[in-house]
Amino acid sequence: MDRRRLLLVVAAVIATCGVALVFVYAQGADARAAEQYDTVEVLTATERILPGESIDDAIEVGKVRLSDVTRAQLLPDASTSAADLRGTVALTTLYPGEQLIPLKFGGADDVEAAASLPIPEDKLAISIAVEDAARVGDFIRPGAEVAVFLTQPTESTRTLLGRVTVLAFGASTAVPTDPAAQTEVRNDDLRSLLTVAVTQREAEKVRFAESVGALSVALLNDGSKVKPDEGVTDANLFD
């Protein structure tokens, strides 16, 4: 009899837990449904807005309107009022239906910079000075991908960055070993500036590496395989 009562108690507890789980799931479903159908009015583009085009002009000709957007599709910082964007211009092309966010608007001077040096989202642009002979000649162009190597004289050569995108490259400049000396610039003194897109951590690595050795780059293609390893030293040079 005691065993039957115990089983009944266990069954009752399981049933109660089941009811509670169903209730929790139902509450979550209601919340998800509310998020899916609850809408917010935000500014969206009705026609294409080109880089450099004034937001004021776009509003005046009807290229911008308030649209209902579900909370599930709402972008962070989406503008709900044109007041925050007045006096700015588009920094990039905006397409019909796109939500307007302050990040894509700025001053007229910012347009040229955004167009001439398109920095990927979440990346930084830094310039790396490499020996003129260590930049793969004239084959590197904006959009190319390169690996960056660090050579510490008498110590090692190691892969510093496996794959980064080139945003721009500059002309060779003279970097004499003794800036105070007025000597003729040799080919060995020439450096080229490569501007690459990197993360904050990669930028920190490059800046520190410049203080302990010389940087060089290697041009990559889609099939190139590069990964950091222990590098090459005088001990394993001929392994």
Residue 167 shares a structural domain with residue 80: no
Residue 129 shares a structural domain with residue 110: no
Residue 107 shares a structural domain with residue 67: yes
Per-residue pLDDT for the chain (239 aa), expressed as one digit of tens each?
A: 466 666 666 666 676 766 566 555 556 545 554 455 688 889 999 999 988 889 999 999 999 999 888 877 888 788 888 888 888 888 878 888 888 988 888 887 666 666 666 778 788 888 888 765 444 555 677 788 899 999 998 899 999 999 999 887 765 444 444 444 444 444 444 567 788 999 999 999 999 999 999 898 988 888 888 887 889 998 888 88
Residue 57 shares a structural domain with residue 108: yes
Contacts of 82 (CB under 8 A, 6+ apart): 43, 55, 59, 64
Residue 129 shares a structural domain with residue 194: yes
Predicted TM-score of the model (pTM): 0.48
Establish if 34 belongs to a structural domain.
no
CA-CA distance, 48 to 94, in Å (whole number)?
A: 6
Establish if 81 belongs to a structural domain.
yes
Establish if 15 belongs to a structural domain.
no
Residue 191 shares a structural domain with residue 109: no
Boundaries of domain holding 132: 124-220
Establish if 105 belongs to a structural domain.
yes
Establish if 130 belongs to a structural domain.
yes
- As for how many domains the chain has, the answer is 2
DSSP 149: E
- Given this model, what pLDDT does residue 152 score? 92
Helix (H) or strand (E) holding 162: strand 156-169
- Given this model, what pLDDT does residue 185 score? 40
Question: Where does a domain end: 66, 88, 116?
Answer: 116
**Phi and psi (nearest 5°) for 69?**
-125, 135
Residue 152 shares a structural domain with residue 106: no
- Given this model, what pLDDT does residue 150 score? 92
Residue 51 shares a structural domain with residue 90: yes
CA-CA distance, 177 to 131, in Å (whole number)?
A: 13
Establish if 110 belongs to a structural domain.
yes
- Given this model, what pLDDT does residue 127 score? 85
CA-CA distance, 132 to 185, in Å (whole number)?
A: 13
CA-CA distance, 228 to 157, in Å (whole number)?
A: 11
Establish if 228 belongs to a structural domain.
no
Residue 95 shares a structural domain with residue 138: no
Report the CATH number that the domain containing residue 69 is assigned in CATH. 3.90.1210.10
Residue 205 shares a structural domain with residue 132: yes
CA-CA distance, 80 to 106, in Å (whole number)?
A: 17
- Given this model, what pLDDT does residue 138 score? 59
Burial class (CB in 10 A: 0-12, 13-18, 19+), 52: middle
Establish if 62 belongs to a structural domain.
yes
Residue 177 shares a structural domain with residue 137: yes
Residue 200 shares a structural domain with residue 136: yes
